[in-house]
């Protein structure tokens, strides 16, 4: 996987936790208990997709820009997108997508809950 920085980058965000969903073989990243990104692994532990949530028009835009961005793997195809981990999406664009996914899921909480999540540490 060419995005070796991703785990450290996501865990540095406030309120982020990660787990392994063994049944799916996914490493999931959550904010406030809700998933905003996942690293989908094959049976050998190799990354197959990075899955994240985007606004529908944003996801559609990136799918048109890069063949390595596809509708969400095993997810809602409108809101979720998957990126091939050895593909051509530049690091700064993937960082931006991950930031947007985090912000989108965080925004789904009440302001009170957002404050609680952001003050955790």
DSSP 55: -
Q: Is residue 63 part of a domain?
A: yes
Q: Which domain holds residue 72?
A: 6-119
Q: Is residue 87 part of a domain?
A: yes
Q: What is the pLDDT of residue 121?
A: 54
In a domain, 67, yes or no: yes
In a domain, 81, yes or no: yes
Domain count within the chain: 1
- 1-40 pLDDT tens trace: 789 999 999 999 999 999 999 999 999 999 999 999 999 9
* Strand order through the sheet with 47-53: 16-21, 26-31, 34-41, 47-53, 80-83, 69-71
CATH number, domain with residue 91: 3.90.1150.30
**What are the residues facing 35 on neighbouring strands?**
30
| 1 is a domain residue | no
Q: Are strands 34-41 and 47-53 parallel, antiparallel or unpaired?
A: antiparallel
Global pTM value: 0.93
């Amino acid at each position: 996987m060419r995005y070796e920085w991703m785990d450290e980058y996501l865990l540095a965000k406030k309120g982020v936790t990660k787990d392994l969903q063994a049944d799916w073989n996914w490493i999931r990243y959550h904010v406030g208990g809700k998933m905003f990104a996942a690293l989908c692994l094959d049976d050998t532990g190799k990354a197959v997709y990075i899955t994240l949530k985007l606004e529908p028009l944003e996801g559609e835009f990136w799918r048109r820009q890069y063949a390595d961005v596809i509708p969400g793997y095993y997810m809602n195809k409108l809101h979720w997108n998957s990126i091939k981990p050895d593909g051509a999406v530049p690091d700064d664009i993937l960082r931006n997508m991950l930031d947007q996914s985090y912000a989108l899921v965080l925004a789904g909480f009440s302001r009170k809950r957002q404050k609680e999540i952001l003050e955790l540490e």
